[in-house]
Amino acid sequence: MIRVLSVTSECAPLVKTGGLADVAGALPGALAPLGVEMRTLLPGYPRVMAAVGRGKAVLEDPDLFGGPARVIAARAGGLDLLVLDAPHLFGREGAPYNGPDGRDWPDNPERFAALGWVAAEIAGGALTDWQPQVLHCHDWQAGLAPWYLRDRHPQAPVGSVLTIHNIAFQGLAPGDRLARLRLPPDGMTPGGFEYWGNISALKAGLVAADRITTVSPTYADELLTPEFGMGMEGVLRARQDVLSGILNGVDLDAWTPSYKTPAGKRRYTARLRAAMGLPAADGPLCVVVSRLTHQKGLDLLLEALPRLLDEGGQLALLGSGEPGLEAAFRTAAARHPGVAVTFGYDEALARLLIEGGDAILVPSRFEPCGLTQLYGLRFGTLPLVAYTGGLADTVIDASPAGLRAGVATGVQFHPVSAAALSRAFDRLCALYRQPDLWLRMQRNAMRHPVGWDQSAAEYAALYDGLIRT
């Protein structure tokens, strides 16, 4: 049995803002059959505290970055949890990273430094009855944990791994917060956690962790380039011998369609059109479930949308994000009967979009892994994706070779531009007009492996290599 402490700022089903939560929530169950005992350290946000109840206090700290705190051991959501109950840091209304006004909490550096600090203490042996053999940290919010572990407990028999879910978020803090973050001055160097005069929690983890992973093999390669490395490519090139990509998977129990064949989608397509107020159409009903941001390429979709509509296609969108994009999609829906939008997030509607759509669109400029296209594959909703990151690793393009071999599961486009997306819409609609070919692709998609089996085995092997005797 390998004991692993997973450190994350969000974890489904308890608290979620994106794919990180889905991965953190799925890993323990996926790894348990492989002999991995994983406990998840999670901040005690109000909704988390409500879910775990009283629990059992297993660690106390009278002054954790400005106030008293304790760690509660509990089980909730099917997970073995260690919850950091620190009301002065996490007992607030709003989202995990920002308040009701949508602005980041100004003390986010301290809040997540506290998470990393406690993780390092647990890894260093602070609990009387359990010590991990591996410390698995997710994204910048846990990035300081490997640094604290190396700095405070260098003799601890614990290996560390940092997983980059999205390198665009780097956990920056002003350089004058060194003392407040309990960081040593000698770390404020280009070889340490210093980043253009700031402190970067992500860089601290990249420098200090024994291994670095990201969420797809292609994204691991992309991170070594200026185009995708977001300023961290030099650090990663220096450590590329310990960098690898392991694809995300999806929870097959939670994401199993009620229909066994593509024909079963028809009733959900009808329900989706009714729910979104869309008329019948000759072309494919394309769906989007996404944050509306530049990264996700939704501005490119707006530019290419006329081509889809001209080909008889439709668009149903659920998401929220940049006000300019929301306004532009609202205008598109007002002008075109084949476009329907809902802003915000609704889990039931998101599922209906994936169940009822003919194709799911992911035109991201970069995408570390992506889960949306995996849900699409699982439900026979053919992905149309940019050729980048995990999208390139998970969707088999309907190229002439892919079609001849009978293995195509979707449509890829490159470069990531509105013109290339328009051409992809031409291909998608041409495929849709060939029912037998479309059906074959749907069947391929629904058979495509999107679960955790292979990736869980890779994580288990990674952990095994980190065990120190």
Annotated binding site: 16
Q: Rounded to 5 degrees, what are φ and ψ at 444?
A: -60, -45
Give the H/E segment covering residue 428: helix 418-432
Cα separation values, 336 from 62, 309, 395, Å: 60, 9, 30
Distance CA 67, CA 466 (A): 34
17, amino acid identity:
T
Q: Which residues lie closer than 8 Å to 349 by C-beta, 6 or more apart?
A: 275, 318, 342
Q: Which residues lie closer than 8 Å to 109 by C-beta, 6 or more apart?
A: 171, 173, 177, 180, 181, 199, 201
Look at residues 165, 239, 235, 241 and name the one whose alpha carbon lies nearest to residue 203. Answer: 235
Q: Which residues lie closer than 8 Å to 445 by C-beta, 6 or more apart?
A: 376, 377, 378, 380, 381, 382, 383, 409, 410
343, amino acid identity:
F
Distance CA 206, CA 389 (A): 19
**CA 466: distance to chain centroid?**
24
Look at residues 216, 262, 263, 214 and name the one whose alpha carbon lies nearest to residue 236. Answer: 214
Is 72 in contact with 52 (CB distance < 8 Å)?
yes
The two tokens of residue 300 are 């490119």
Preceding peptide of 13 cis, ω within 30°: yes
Handedness of CA 191, 195, 199, 205 (dihedral sign): negative
Annotated binding site for ADP-alpha-D-glucose: which residue ranges?
16
99, amino acid identity:
G
